[in-house]
C-alpha cells in the first residue's frame, strides 16, 4: 500500500512539473510571437513610410517638371505669342494705337512692336478676311474691309470703322468746321451715306448752315483716336501723323 501511495505521489509531482514546463514553453512562445508581431508592425510602418516617401519624391519630380521655365520656348514660338498679343491689343482697343503705347503697356521694345505690326499688316492683307489692319500716320488700327462695310456697318457700336468712313471722317477732322456740301464734292455722292453713318455713331455733329450743314468732330472721335479735344491742336497732330503739307 505504502509503495503504491509513493508511486502515486511521484506521478503527481511529475505531472505538476510537466505542467509547469508546458506553461513556461507556452509563455515563451507567446512572447516570441508578440515580438514577431511587434517587429512585423514596425516593418509595415517602415514600408508604408517608404511608400509615402516614394510618392512624395514622385510628386516633387512632377512638380519640378511643371515648373520648368518657358525659356525653353523657341524664338519663333515667342514671336508668335507677341504677335498675337499685339493683334489682340488692336482688337480690344477699338481705336488706333501707336507703337509707343503698345510698347509701354506690353513692356516690349519699340523695334519689336514695329516688326510685329508690319508682319500683321502683311498677314491681314494676304488672308481672306473681312478684317484688315491699316496704318494711319504713326498709328495702327483694325478695320472692316471696304467691300464688306455696307453689310457689317449696321452692327457697329462705335468700334472699328471701315476704310471708306474713315477717309471721310479724316477729311472732316482736318478741315473742320466744314460744310457737308464740300465734303460731298471731295468724296463723291457716297459721302451722304458716310456722313449719316458718322453722325449716327457719334463721331461728328452737324449744325445747320444755310442750305447745308457745318460738320465737326466730337469728343468721342478725339478719345477714340487719342487726339486732343481742341480742334486746332487736333489738326496739328493729324497733319504731323499723316505727313501732310499743312498748306494743302
Spans of the chain below 50 pLDDT: 2-4, 13, 41, 43, 64-69
Residues 135 and 196 in one domain: no
pLDDT at 116: 94
Cell of 81: 505669342
Q: What is the CATH number of the domain that holds 139?
A: 1.10.10.10
pLDDT at 143: 78
Nearest to 135 by CA among 103, 90, 93, 169: 90
Alpha carbon distance 56, 122 (integer Å): 52
Q: Which residues contact 37 (CB under 8 A, 6 or more apart)?
A: none
Residues 115 and 174 in one domain: no
Alpha carbon distance 44, 166 (integer Å): 79
pLDDT at 147: 72
Q: Does any domain span residue 149?
A: no
Total number of domains constituting the chain = 3
Nearest to 160 by CA among 139, 145, 176, 138: 145
Cell of 95: 481705336
214, 177 contact by CB (below 8 A): yes
Q: Does any domain span residue 248?
A: no
Residues 233 and 169 in one domain: yes
* Domain region containing 196: 162-242
pLDDT at 145: 75
Q: Does any domain span residue 154?
A: no
Per-residue pLDDT reduced to its tens digit, 55-107: 555 555 555 444 444 555 677 888 889 999 999 998 888 778 889 999 999 99
Q: Does any domain span residue 5?
A: yes
pLDDT at 247: 54
Answering whether pTM is above 0.85, one says: no
pLDDT at 233: 87
Among 68, 100, 121, the domain-final residue is 68
Residues 178 and 115 in one domain: no
Amino acid at each position: 500500500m505504502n509503495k503504491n501511495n509513493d508511486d502515486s505521489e511521484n506521478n503527481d509531482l511529475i505531472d505538476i512539473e510537466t505542467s509547469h514546463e508546458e506553461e513556461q514553453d507556452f509563455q515563451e512562445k507567446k512572447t516570441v510571437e508578440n515580438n514577431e508581431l511587434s517587429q512585423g508592425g514596425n516593418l509595415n510602418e517602415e514600408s508604408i513610410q517608404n511608400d509615402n516617401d516614394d510618392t512624395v519624391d514622385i510628386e516633387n519630380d512632377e512638380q519640378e517638371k511643371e515648373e520648368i521655365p518657358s525659356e525653353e520656348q523657341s524664338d519663333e514660338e515667342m514671336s508668335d505669342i507677341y504677335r498675337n498679343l499685339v493683334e489682340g491689343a488692336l482688337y480690344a482697343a477699338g481705336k488706333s494705337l501707336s507703337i509707343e503705347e503698345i510698347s509701354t503697356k506690353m513692356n516690349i521694345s519699340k523695334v519689336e512692336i514695329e516688326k510685329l505690326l508690319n508682319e500683321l499688316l502683311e498677314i491681314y492683307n494676304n488672308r481672306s478676311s473681312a478684317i484688315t489692319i491699316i496704318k494711319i500716320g504713326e498709328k495702327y488700327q483694325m478695320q472692316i474691309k471696304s467691300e464688306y462695310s455696307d453689310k457689317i456697318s449696321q452692327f457697329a457700336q462705335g468700334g472699328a470703322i471701315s476704310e471708306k468712313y474713315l477717309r471721310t471722317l479724316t477729311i472732316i477732322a482736318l478741315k473742320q468746321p466744314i460744310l457737308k456740301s464740300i465734303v460731298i464734292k471731295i468724296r463723291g455722292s457716297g459721302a451722304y451715306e458716310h456722313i449719316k453713318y458718322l453722325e449716327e455713331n457719334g463721331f461728328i455733329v452737324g449744325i445747320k448752315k444755310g442750305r447745308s450743314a457745318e460738320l465737326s468732330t466730337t469728343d468721342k472721335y478725339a478719345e477714340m483716336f487719342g487726339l486732343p479735344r481742341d480742334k486746332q491742336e487736333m489738326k496739328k497732330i493729324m497733319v504731323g501723323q499723316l505727313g501732310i503739307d499743312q498748306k494743302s
